[in-house]
Amino acid sequence: MLDRRLLARIDEKKSKLDALRPLPSAAVNRLKEQFTAEWIYNSNAIEGSTLTLRETQLILETGLTIGGKSLREHFEVTNHKDAIDYVESLAQQGELITPFHVRQIHKLVLSQIDDENAGQYRKTEVRIAGAKHIPPEAWETPQRMTEWGDWLKNAEKHIHSVELAAQAHHRLVAIHPFIDGNGRTARLVMNLILFRQGYPPAVILRVNRKQYYQVLMQADAGKNDPLVNFVGRAVDHSLTLYLEACVSKSMQLSSNEQWIPLAQAAAGTTYTQEYLSLLARQGRIEAIKRGRNWFTTRKAVKEYQDSIK
């Protein structure tokens, strides 16, 4: 379940974003380019790609190859872009998400890398490195995926979209239906679920790779809340960026609503900068990370203070 403060922020920002629709096309195009490059870079980096964000952008923008990088890494970029385009088209069509769509996404992810297995359920047993969870045997995979599709169809009627996206992602990774590319496929499916409900994509950052695997392992043990809130914080961050880009610059924010460094926000309160940093990382206070530094607002600090009285 989403932390109540995080849930309230997500719902408030989503309502504000919906009220601005149709969103300004220039802003949306800039955001799409930014999110696509960062999504592809981070998703591939989590799986071991050595390409930098700038190199990923160059491949997307020019189609050129980067010296010293493998052909596989180049295909991982262009394939992921094709998969994102497919996911966006599915979201616009509004169709129910089925195991067939998952296989089509995977086929795009592994195209020209492993055409024999692209879009095909695995035929051998697999183990997830560093995890105690053991995926089902290969012969069980088709039935497990059918059950996954049935669960998703029923769950979307009564589970919050962000929680649904996180749980669907974990359930898919736990099945591990493919010999390779499961993580990338699961993150694409997660964002397909979010897109269908009008959310921006949740980008899992490479720098959070260790925490990402930790919350997945906690979900393996039946503890879903850490993963749900991990994904929720990524959605919250994306909503903030979308609102900043789409709200007219002429709408001047009050001093209490302006983003300020944590040290400045802590001044005059009983909190230290370190404590506000902890709250920011846990999603218990509204904050945004720019580079290596966290920023929050005086309004966010006040709301947190009021919530614990």
Task: Supply the residues annotated as catalytic.
Answer: 176
135: Cα within 13 Å, side-chain hemisphere: 29
22 upstream amide cis, omega within 30 of 0? yes
CA–CA separation, 286 vs 297, rounded Å? 8
Q: Do 187 and 42 meet the contact criterion of CB atoms below 8 Å apart?
A: no
The token duo for 141 is 């995979």
Task: Give the full edge-to-edge strand order of the sheet including 260-261.
Answer: 260-261, 293-296, 287-290
Q: Kindly tell me the number of DSSP H helices and DSSP E strands found in the chain.
A: 13, 3
> By three-state DSSP, how is residue 215 classified?
helix
**92 with 73: CB under 8 angstroms?**
no
